[in-house]
Chain A
Amino acid sequence: MPALMHKPVTTMIAVALLGLLALVPIAAEAFDDPFMLTLFTRIVIMAIAAVSLNLILGYGGMVSFGHAAYIGIGGYTVGILAHHGVHAAWIQWPLALLMSGLTALLIGLLSLRTKGIFFIMITLALAQLVYYLGNGAYAYGGDDGLTILKRSDFGGLIDLNHRPTLYYLCWAVLVAALYLCYRTVNSRFGMVLQGAKSNDRRMATIGFPVFRYRLTAFVIAGMVCGLAGVLSAAFTDFISPAMMHWSRSGDLIVMVVLGGMGSLFGPLFGTVAFLLLEEILSSWTEYWKIVFGPILVLVVIFARGGIDGALMRGQANILMAGCAGFFLLYGVHSAYESDWLIPTAILAAAFALVWLAKWLADRRASAKEAGHV
């Protein structure tokens, strides 16, 4: 288990995060805040898509700028079938996976001969074709999108209308996707994939059919992302071309890079951080992007390798300081809205984090001293 063993901090935090995510429906019930469940359902679904992107982007070096297309393909397959009265999940879901897999195969065949920015752009171009296809599909609402009147029917086995059930299904798919990614990456197949990322010519001369390996990974990622689309359709009861717009693909890349590409749990961290920040900042001010934009720049400059990179290199102090700053803002903000208890608690937490960050920094500094003398 090489990919997991050498960074236990990340794994611990990720497992804790997954555990916390599993508690969301209970917390939503306890705090009587059903929106919490809604928010996290979306986060978990996006995390599935980000994990799938990371498989090809992080491990395979294939920067797909059209990954949102598969969300759309998955969603549209379900939506169109539902529109024609086919609600059985046993038909809808496999067909959606098949369609997104086929699309990925087609896109991969055309694009995998190119490299670098050219690969980025050709995947964008092909995804834009899919986007315009959705935009022009007036039979299915065009850009207005299509409302799905009835969710997929598992014949009474799983009730998707029951919100916690749907959430746990998404959560389970996320865990499964992570496991799949883990197994793939640590298999011989994954080794070749990663080897080809750093030097595809050498892998080819050793005798591995690099193109076929890459194509396979590309298709797997497309199918997993298509599944995210299926879940998204089930969750929002709505599909529209907007979910395939290039900016959505861009968001996915941002989530993966923010979290740390080429690390198993990076995309999970990235998605949670990205969407939570978006939700919280935008609830404070309409001008939230003026804060969010520079945060991204700072993350790139100071936390190399994203959140996961910072964790791995023991830059926990930077993360802590970041969280503390965030909590500080949050505390000051909520001081204007709610009574004294909550803001005080938040500020105390911020204080604790600052202290912890300092402690970590000191420990690191002293460890460095010791190591160098």
Chain B
Amino acid sequence: MLLLLFEQFLNGLQIGLLLFLLAAGLTLVFGIMDLVNLAHGSLYMMGAYFAAVFTQWTGNFFLGALLALPAGALLGIIVEVVALRTLYTRDHLDQVLATFGLILFFNEFARVVFGAGGMAIELPSWLEGQVEIMPGLPYPSFRFLIIVVGLGCAGFLYLLVQKTRLGMLIRAGASNREMVGALGIDIKLLFTLVFGLGSALAALAGLMSGPITTVQIGMGDNILILALVVIVIGGIGSIRGAFIAAVAIGVIDTMGRAFLPNMLGSFLNPSDAGTLAQALSSMLIYILMAAVLVLRPAGLFPAPGR
């Protein structure tokens, strides 16, 4: 039982870290540029497609991933320069409308270019297997890799944002972009770079989730809502908040699915418990978000200066 509990915790952690990869880019772009980018999910999808194509082309998942990241960043930069740059000063809803248009475009675009059937990302065989984390607990190698990459990425982002000059400028830009410009920093370029970074993170999330969830048209649409939930719970613009919220959501959602039926079964009759547990576990994330927002209307870690 304890082993199962631990295994389910790992499952939750892994889902949470995958969500974090997606949410980090979103919160960076939202928090710093004040841009609601619904097309973040499309960049996630395109990143996954890039990885699938490049993996097929090079025959190696890691080479494919290595190519997909700059491709994702480049695509993001193109989108930013062509469509989104003019929208920074606009109302959030204008941004919603425009990026909604981009979602429609990218979904059809992917269908035209990559076909309707979806793609699989082939993993090297050692990643298809399991690693024995503890005696009696084999864990899928690739999921373990997700945990490693997720934690690594969180560390990288922490160092980048907290310890480098670029990170200082990013944070400064988040609180007062006009002043950053008046001190001699090309804010347009900075924003384009940040958007590229966010897109690369989205692509990373896409290519890490591709091998377990397959690469499909519209794969970014539903998960985008989850990522929005994460950044709202965490507090807009806060990488730390996004990390904590993502892991919390991953773990709570997984634990709910894993143990709610049994828990409810102990004081309800089985069929009622089943129905209730299913309904509850579907709603759990939303209940969590509603509760957090009722208690803390600006999320757990509201960024200062906003």
Direct touching of A and B (C-beta under 8 Å) = yes
- Asked if B236 and A290 sit within 8 Å, CB to CB, the answer is no
Residues of chain A in range 105-134 having any CB-CB distance to chain B below 8 Å: 110-111, 113-118, 121-122, 124-126, 128-129, 132-133
User: Are A290 and B112 CB-contacts (below 8 A) given A125-B286, A128-B286, A136-B279?
Assistant: yes
Interface hit among B44-52, B59-67, B182-190, B292-300: B292-300
- Asked if A115 and B279 sit within 8 Å, CB to CB, the answer is no
Q: How far is B99's CA from A299's CA once the two chains are assembled, in angstroms?
A: 12
**What is the interface of chain B mostly: helix, strand, loop, or mixed?**
helix
A294 contacts B by Cβ under 8 Å? yes
CB distance from A274 to the nearest CB of B (A): 11
- Report the count of interface residues on A (CB-CB < 8 A): 44
User: Are A257 and B94 CB-contacts (below 8 A) given A121-B228, A293-B104?
Assistant: yes
- Asked if A132 and B225 sit within 8 Å, CB to CB, the answer is no
- Report the count of interface residues on B (CB-CB < 8 A): 45
Q: How far is B283's CA from A297's CA once the two chains are assembled, in angstroms?
A: 33
- Asked if B297 and A115 sit within 8 Å, CB to CB, the answer is yes
Residues of chain A in range 286-315 having any CB-CB distance to chain B below 8 Å: 287-290, 292-297, 299-301, 304
CB distance from A176 to the nearest CB of B (A): 26
User: Are A294 and B105 CB-contacts (below 8 A) given A115-B297, A118-B293?
Assistant: yes
How many A-B contacts at CB < 8 Å in the complex? 124
User: Are A287 and B275 CB-contacts (below 8 A) given A118-B297, A121-B228, A292-B104?
Assistant: no
Kindly identify which residue among A125, A250, A257, A290 contacts B229, using a CB–CB cutoff of 8 Å: A125
Q: Residues of B contacting A324 with CB < 8 Å?
A: none
Interface flags, B87-126, vs A, CB<8A=1, else 0 = 1001011111110111111111101100000000000000
B83 contacts A by Cβ under 8 Å? yes
Q: How far is B96's CA from A258's CA once the two chains are assembled, in angstroms?
A: 11
Q: Residues of A contacting B279 with CB < 8 Å?
A: 132-133, 136
B219 contacts A by Cβ under 8 Å? no
CB distance from B124 to the nearest CB of A (A): 35
A70 contacts B by Cβ under 8 Å? no
A63 contacts B by Cβ under 8 Å? yes
Q: Residues of B contacting A246 with CB < 8 Å?
A: 225
- Asked if B112 and A287 sit within 8 Å, CB to CB, the answer is yes
B168 contacts A by Cβ under 8 Å? no
* Nearest-CB residue, chain B, relative to A114: B297
B-contacting residues of A (Cβ < 8 Å)? 57, 63, 110-111, 113-118, 121-122, 124-126, 128-129, 132-133, 135-136, 138, 246-247, 250, 253-254, 257-258, 261, 287-290, 292-297, 299-301, 304
Q: A125-B287, A290-B109 are in contact. List 13 more A-B contacts (CB 8 A).
A: A118-B232, A118-B297, A122-B289, A122-B293, A125-B293, A129-B286, A129-B290, A132-B283, A289-B107, A293-B101, A297-B83, A297-B101, A301-B87
> Can you spell out 21 A-B residue pairs with CB atoms less than 8 angstroms apart?
A63-B93, A116-B92, A117-B30, A117-B232, A117-B236, A118-B293, A118-B299, A121-B289, A125-B293, A128-B283, A253-B96, A261-B93, A290-B109, A293-B102, A293-B105, A293-B106, A297-B101, A300-B87, A300-B97, A301-B83, A304-B94
